[in-house]
Structure 1
Amino acid sequence: IAVPPNKRYGVDWVFLGFIPGGETALAGLANDIWATSPTDYYKTPLKDLPLMERVHNARDLAAYFDVSMAYDSPGFVVRQFVTPYNVPFLACYSTGMTPASMPYYPKQLRGVLYGIRGGAEYEMLINRPWRGLSYTDVLSAVNIYIFLVIIIGNVIILFSRRR
């Protein structure tokens, strides 16, 4: 996700990176971010990041943004952040995550981007077209190719059975 150029790392936003442990790790973050992840992704201690002086647990968050491939991640976030702390929940998921997250949209999951198309739509929304938009062309071409291969395969099978 594009960070506006006027936003500074450590002051306006922080990236903790991957924290192993699934739902247990999320529960730990919601309860005490500093104890669960004492450093950010870049190994900078949280005490050295000005933003983190006022962020210690889920109550201090403006929103929770989830970028995950774990099929059960939306449920984890809803159970550990949204329901107990009423933290706004936003996400960016692969298209395959659609079935897992749609039950939470729009009540608990307030905004979500799905796959290449979602990325392209976001690029257009912020008026900064980049790779996502060009990837939609490639995706469309691949889908047309697969569709044609299926049709040709079925025609071949149909004619081979008639002989």
Structure 2
Amino acid sequence: MKAILDFLTLIDRRIIYSVLIFSIIIPLFLKPSLPIRPTQEVIDAYNAVESLKEGDVLLLSTDYGPSAYPELQPVYEVVLEQAFKKNVKVLLMTHWQFQGLIVGVNGIEKVAKKFNKKYGEDYLILGFKPGVAGVMVGLSEDFRNVFPNDYYGKPIDSYPIYKDIVGDDNVLNYKDIDLLFGFEAGATGDFWVQIVQARYGVKMAFSVTAVMAPGYFPYYQAKQVVGIVGGLKGAFDYESLAKKRGLASLIMVSQIPAHTIILLFILLGNIGFIIRRIIK
């Protein structure tokens, strides 16, 4: 009995780490299929992008950095693929200097190359400007008030995409945006809802990190946002709806057995601890 209790309560950490490593690596090679049960808020976010028609305008805001890459980048790239397949015009901006630009620009250039989309005709990178609330209010009047030049320093109204989007007034603002999709690892999404949706009625959806997701559900329940993709599970669901096995799907097949093993070791340790106390 003592040997069993010692095993349960004093498992060598090297054994624990070794088991965890194999539980992560083996599924990456086997690539097992996982049951797909997308939640309604993810389905709604996916359908919001799917409902866009050729020539519609999608505004993307990449407000995250490398730390949130595994959770948000898979959704970001699938959304871009949906948009480019439908010949939707894409505008990209960020409230996160450097980090948001890095993930945003790299992602859109990667997907645009895949679909042979041309910069300035099919998509436009607006870039970054500091001051979240001021930027959002400024965009309501004219995007050129905030982004007179694009990411590369050229006037945004000099591109064909600008002329395709704007009406007779030659002004680009929220009235021209058919859907805003925010990718959020912080509080920027709250500003989007409380300022842009509340004041200007812009249709919007969000992909957020798992720790941020609970704070966004009241917006979804109040129908202030049309859909939410929460965390890695939401990203996996979104990829599944697009029939794609991407980064989120790859991580999920390793995360499930790893989490299961961690819980198993915790359970074994507690069982051994309880039995030891009873015996004493």
Which band: TM-score by shorter chain? 0.7 to 0.9
Q: Which letter does structure 1 place at the counterpart of 2:224?
A: Q
Question: 2: CA distance between counterparts of 1:150 and 1:24?
Answer: 49
In structure 2, relative to structure 1, the CA distance for the partners of 1:14 and 1:108 (3 Å cut) is: farther
Q: Which letter does structure 2 place at the counterpart of 1:20?
A: P
Residue 145 of structure 1: which of 236, 256, 261 is its match?
Answer: 261
Greater gyration radius: 2
Q: Which residue of structure 2 lines up, in the alignment, with residue 122 of structure 1?
A: 238
Question: 2: CA distance between counterparts of 1:145 and 1:49?
Answer: 54
Question: 1: CA distance between counterparts of 2:254 and 2:184?
Answer: 23
Q: Any conservation in 1 of the 2:219–2:225 contact (CA below 8 Å)?
A: yes
Q: Which letter does structure 2 place at the counterpart of 1:98?
A: A
Q: Which residue of structure 1 lines up, in the alignment, with residue 247 of structure 2?
A: 131
Q: How does 1:49-128 map to 2 (within 5 A)?
A: 49-53=159-163, 54=166, 56-70=172-186, 72-106=187-221, 107-128=223-244
With the length of structure 2 as denominator, give the TM-score of the two structures.
0.51
- Gaps in structure 2 of 5+ consecutive residues: 1-76, 85-114
With 99-108 and 54-63 compared, the bigger mean Cα shift is at: 54-63
Q: Which residue of structure 2 lines up, in the alignment, with residue 16 of structure 1?
A: 126
Q: Report SS of the residue matched to 2:245.
A: coil
Q: Any conservation in 2 of the 1:66–1:92 contact (CA below 8 Å)?
A: yes
Q: Which letter does structure 1 place at the counterpart of 2:183?
A: V
Cα deviation, residue 136, structure 1: 1.1
In structure 2, relative to structure 1, the CA distance for the partners of 1:118 and 1:8 (3 Å cut) is: farther
Q: Report SS of the residue matched to 2:228.
A: strand
With 28-37 and 96-105 compared, the bigger mean Cα shift is at: 28-37
- Gaps in structure 1 of 5+ consecutive residues: none
Q: Any conservation in 2 of the 1:30–1:80 contact (CA below 8 Å)?
A: no
Cα deviation, residue 28, structure 1: 2.7
In structure 2, relative to structure 1, the CA distance for the partners of 1:41 and 1:138 (3 Å cut) is: farther
Cα deviation, residue 142, structure 1: 2.3
